[in-house]
A and B are shown apart, each in its own frame.
Chain A
Amino acid sequence: MKHYSDLEYLKLSKGKKLGYRVASFFTGIPKAIWNFIKKIGNALKGAGLKVADEAKDIVGTFIKGDWKTKVSYLIMGFGCLARGQILRGLLFLLFEIVFVGYMVLYGVYWLRMLPSLGTVGPHEEYNEIYDAYTTTYGDNSFKILLYGVLTIFFIIAFLYTWRVNVKQNKLAEQILRSGKKLKSGKDDLRSLVDDQFHKTLLALPLTGILIFTVMPILFMILVAFTNYDGAHDGYYSNLFTWVGLKNFNTLFSWSSGGVNYAATFGEILAWTLMWAFFATFTNYFLGMIVAMMINKKGIRVKKLWRTILVLTIAIPQFISLLYVSKMFAKNGIVNGFLMNMGWIDKAIDFWGETANHGLLARVTVIVINIWIGIPYLMLIATGILMNIPADLYESAKIDGANAWQQYTKITLPYMLFITGPYLLTSFTGNMNNFNVIYLLTGGAPTNAAASGAAGSVGFTDLLITWLFKITMGPESQYYLASVVGIMVFVVIAVISLIVYNVLPSIKNEEDFQ
Chain B
Amino acid sequence: MAKNQNSMKQHMGIRTANAISNTIIHILLVIMSIIWLIPFVCIVLQSFRVESTWQVGYVIPQKWGIDNYLNLANTDFWKWYLNTFIMGVCVAILQTIIVLCMSYTLSRFRFKMRKPLMQFMLILGMFPGMLAMIILYRVLKDLGLTQANAVPGLILVYVASSGMGYYVSKGFFDTIPKSLDEAARVDGATRAQVLYKIIMPLAKPIVIYTILTAFMGPWGDFVLARYISFGASAGMNVAVGLNNWLTPDQIGQNYTMFCAGGVIVAIPVLILFMCLQKYYVEGVTGGAVKG
Contact = CB atoms under 8 A, between A and B. Distances in A.
- Is A–B contact present in the complex under a CB 8 A cutoff? yes
Interface of A: 142, 146, 190, 193-195, 197-198, 200-202, 204-206, 208-209, 211-217, 219-220, 223, 290, 293-294, 296, 298-300, 305, 307-320, 322-324, 326-327, 329, 331-333, 335-337, 339-340, 371, 375-376, 379-380, 382-384, 387, 418-419, 421-422, 425, 428, 432, 434-435, 438-439, 463-464, 467-468, 471, 478, 481-482, 485, 488-489, 492-493, 496, 509-510, 513
B191 A197 contact: yes
Contact of B285 (A219, A384, A464): A384
Contacts of A496: 126
A419 B270 CA distance: 29
B223 A434 contact: yes
Interface in B275-289: 277, 280-281, 284-286, 288-289
Nearest to A202: B105
A308 B239 contact: no
A223 B280 CA distance: 40
State the main secondary structure of chain B at its contact with A: helix
A208 B161 contact: yes
A181 B83 CA distance: 55
B164 A213 contact: yes
Given A305-B33, A316-B216, A296 B128 contact: no
B164 A464 contact: no
Given A211-B160, A216-B131, A318 B22 contact: no
B271 to A, nearest CB: 9
B246 A209 contact: no
Contact of A318 (B195, B220, B291): B220
B157 A212 contact: yes
B126 A216 contact: no
A318 B163 contact: no
Interface in B20-45: 22, 25-26, 28-29, 32-33, 35-37, 39-40, 42-43
A281 to B, nearest CB: 15
B191 A195 contact: yes
A201 B105 contact: yes
A334 to B, nearest CB: 9
Contacts of B160: 208-209, 211-213
Contact of B132 (A216, A340, A387, A438): A216
Interface stretch (B4-12, B70-78, B135-143): B135-143
Contacts of A311: 36-37, 40, 270, 274
Contacts of B174: 513
Contacts of A468: 130, 223
B130 to A, nearest CB: 6
Given A208-B159, A208-B160, A493-B126, A332 B55 contact: yes
B121 A209 contact: yes
B176 interface: no
A212 B55 contact: no
28 contacts: A197-B109, A201-B102, A202-B102, A202-B105, A204-B101, A205-B101, A205-B162, A205-B163, A212-B136, A216-B132, A219-B135, A296-B25, A318-B243, A319-B242, A320-B40, A324-B39, A335-B57, A371-B36, A376-B284, A380-B285, A380-B289, A382-B285, A434-B223, A463-B128, A471-B130, A485-B131, A509-B291, A513-B290
A180 B259 CA distance: 73
A294 B154 CA distance: 40
B69 interface: no
Contact of A220 (B132, B289, B291): B132
Given A201-B101, A204-B98, A316-B216, A383 B289 contact: yes
B192 A194 contact: yes
Nearest to A308: B33
A186 to B, nearest CB: 14
Contacts of A434: 130, 223
Interface residues of B, number: 88
Contacts of B42: 323, 327, 333
B84 to A, nearest CB: 9
A38 B28 CA distance: 56
Interface in B166-221: 174, 190-192, 195, 216, 219-220
A493 B119 CA distance: 12
B82 interface: no
Nearest to A314: B273
Nearest to B57: A336
Nearest to B277: A310
B164 A209 contact: yes
A383 B57 contact: no
A299 B26 contact: yes
B18 A298 contact: yes
Nearest to B245: A322
A213 B161 contact: yes
A298 B25 CA distance: 10
A421 B291 contact: yes
A435 B220 contact: yes
A485 B223 contact: no
Nearest to B225: A318
Given A201-B104, A333-B42, A336-B56, A383 B265 contact: no
> Which interface residue of A194, A197, A371 has the most chain B CB atoms within 10 A?
A197
B242 A318 contact: yes
B66 interface: no
Contact of B55 (A326, A375, A439): A326
